[in-house]
Amino acid sequence: MIDQINRSVRAIPNWLIYVAGAVPVIWLYVQGFQNALGPDPVDVIERSLGLWALWLLIAGLCVTPLQRMTPLRLIKLRRPIGVLAFFYVLVHFLTWLVLDVQIPSQIVADIIKRPYVTVGMVSLVLLLPLAVTSNNWSIRKLGGRWRKLHQLVYPAVALAGVHMVMQAKGFQLEPLLYLAVIVLLITTRWMPLSTFRQAFVKR
Amino acid sequence: MANRWRNTLTSDDVTPEAMFLNRRQMMAGAAALGLGLTASPLRAAGLEPNSYEDITSYNNYYEFGTGKDDPARYADQLTIDPWTIKIDGMVEKPGDYAISDLVPQMTIEERIYRFRCVEAWSMVVPWNGFELADLLDLVGVKSGAKYVAFETVLRPEEMPGTRFPVLNWPYREGLRLDEARHPLTLLATGIYGKPMPKQNGAPIRLVVPWKYGFKYAKSISRITLTDKEPPTSWNMANAREYGFYSNVNPEVAHPRWSQATERRIGGGLFAKREPTLMFNGYDEVASLYQGMDLRKNF
């Protein structure tokens, strides 16, 4: 069964993942143009894209622990997931900038003065070099430094989670759960392999 | 009683019901014919009320959930008949007032008001309601009372959002007595001539058009006259972000949103931001705050 999953994952062409991954963005905007997103389409698009971005970032963080804990080999998906996540973050940001805030001076003021915007912005900036270097050429060129650089994904995703917690008004559970999952996934990186074996693989 | 405030928007400004129900289709049809509706002076002035659909499907009513569509989805669980408002504190005639007895004694008017949310979006709403001052006169305010506190009903079995402490329930709001007595301040019982929809705060809610929307306590179950500034829910949750007064003020930025501009809901994907007006355009309330530093008393 697992072998079958691993084999079919290997068989998926990358271009198909990118095309399929872009569908929700296109679908959201098509609905927005058709006035099918309710009274405030900008808010719906912004929130949906932010949530999709967070899901993809979390999915990206799941690949390695799954590889360590289970016989699942999803490593091939890690790059497309990461690149797609960045695409969602970017469209989320551009939607906020162009359709929501609109006014350039206000955009700058918001990034500097509103902590939840600042945090989201830092997360985007940290993800940028990762997206740019997500290709074989960069891996060859950067050698050992590539691994080091891509550890930026941990603070970037953590800040994305913090961004979600901060934008929520009042005391809300859902954003805290997302942040908890992110923190858990990051801490698994520092757990020795044997801990996983004992915890998850019963023999 | 009533009629002390003259509405600058008239019933002619209300979109006829058949038209607002079909507005989207009509606009699409008009566009197809190359007519367009942009020539309407009401539209140009930005004073056309939002459609009934917009007003009843885009709500902040955290007792039913934090999503904008949660209230429309879950508020039908709320029992609103019978409904009594407990009026207590510094009043001559305290007691439980059934709104079925109370409302017929009041002069119900239509008031078309701008509505500005602290989240920097806005609507125009044709409320039906009576002046809060009339109710205060009916129950008799004792001398020495300075504030009016409002409480929203708290029924966890009917309000799924209250099962988690998003805010310190019950929802509490308050006004200074002179704000409460201002002829602009309403207790609203309807929208567009229909009974107040549950997601909008049925059966009776506060309307204070020069303040941010979260001041408009919904589904009011208690009104208390007091001599001390009453605690208010959002202020208790985050005093740095939500002041007691919360007057619409484009010059005082909120930590989360610049308040200089607003997005008018219902304008679609490419609606331009509009400048926010001091006191949401209701300059007649400025005298209430003479000598006060509105940056400090935000």
Q: Tell me the pLDDT tens digit for each residue of A47-81.
A: 999 999 999 999 999 999 998 888 999 999 999 99
Using CA atoms, how far residue B119 sits from A4, A153, B60, B253, in Å, is 50, 31, 10, 11
Cβ neighbours of residue A70 closer than 8 Å, sequence gap 6 or more: A2, A200, A201
CA end-to-end span of chain B: 32
Whether B66 contacts A172, CB under 8 Å: yes
Q: Kindly tell me if the per-residue pLDDT of A193 is higher than 90.
A: no
Provide φ and ψ at A98, rounded to 5°: -85, -45
Q: Kindly tell me if the per-residue pLDDT of B37 is higher than 50.
A: no
**B264 touching A, CB under 8 A?**
no
The rounded radius of gyration (Å) of the Cα atoms in chain A is 18
Write out the two tokens for B59.
């709500």
User: pLDDT at position B227, please?
Assistant: 98
Q: Which residues of A touch B (CB under 8 A)?
A: 32-33, 35, 38-43, 45, 99-103, 106, 109-110, 113-116, 167-173
Nearest CA in chain A to B166: A171
| Whole-angstrom distance, CA of residue B155 vs CA of residue B239 | 26
Domain count, chain A: 1
Whose CA is closest to A64, among A191, A201, A155, A160? A191
As assigned by CATH, the class of the B49-237 domain is: alpha beta
Q: Which of A55-69, B23-37, B236-250 has the lowest mean pLDDT?
A: B23-37
User: pLDDT at position A48, please?
Assistant: 97
The pLDDT confidence band at residue B33, using thresholds 50, 70 and 90, is very low
Strand B261-264 to B121-131 pairing: parallel
Residue of A35, A102, A113 lying closest to B268 (CB–CB): A35
Which helix (H) or strand (E) element contains residue B85? strand B84-89
Residue of A40, A45, A115 lying closest to B68 (CB–CB): A40
User: pLDDT at position A22, please?
Assistant: 95
User: pLDDT at position B20, please?
Assistant: 46
Cβ contact, residue pair B260, A173, below 8 Å: no
The pLDDT confidence band at residue B1, using thresholds 50, 70 and 90, is low
Q: Kindly tell me if the per-residue pLDDT of B23 is higher than 80.
A: no
Nearest CA in chain B to A172: B166
Cβ contact, residue pair B164, A171, below 8 Å: yes
Portion 166-185 of B in contact with A at CB < 8 A: 166-167
Which of helix, strand or coil describes residue B246? coil
Strand B109-116 to B121-131 pairing: antiparallel
**B69 touching A, CB under 8 A?**
yes
Q: Which residue has the higher pLDDT, A67 or B76?
A: B76
**B157 touching A, CB under 8 A?**
no
The residue to which tokens 């999709």 are assigned: A52
Write out the two tokens for A28.
């959201």
The residue to which tokens 């309807």 are assigned: B190
Domain that holds residue A94: 2-200
Query: Nearest CA of chain A to the CA of B212: how many Å?
Result: 15
User: pLDDT at position B35, please?
Assistant: 39
Average pLDDT, chain A: 93
DSSP B141: B
Q: Which residue has the higher pLDDT, A110 or B41?
A: A110
pLDDT, tens digit, 9 for 90 and up, residues B42-72: 444 557 899 999 999 999 999 999 999 999 9
The residue to which tokens 């490419």 are assigned: B270
User: pLDDT at position A69, please?
Assistant: 87
Q: Where are the domains of chain B?
A: 49-237
The pLDDT confidence band at residue B269, using thresholds 50, 70 and 90, is very high
The pLDDT confidence band at residue A1, using thresholds 50, 70 and 90, is confident
Contacts of B270 in chain A (CB under 8 A): 99
Cβ contact, residue pair B269, A33, below 8 Å: yes
Q: Kindly tell me if the per-residue pLDDT of B27 is higher than 50.
A: no
Residue of B58, B237, B272 lying closest to A40 (CB–CB): B58
**B58 touching A, CB under 8 A?**
yes
Q: Kindly tell me if the per-residue pLDDT of A196 is higher than 90.
A: no
User: How far from chain centre, in Å, is Cα B266?
Assistant: 18
Q: Which of A166-170, B1-5, B282-286 has the lowest mean pLDDT?
A: B1-5
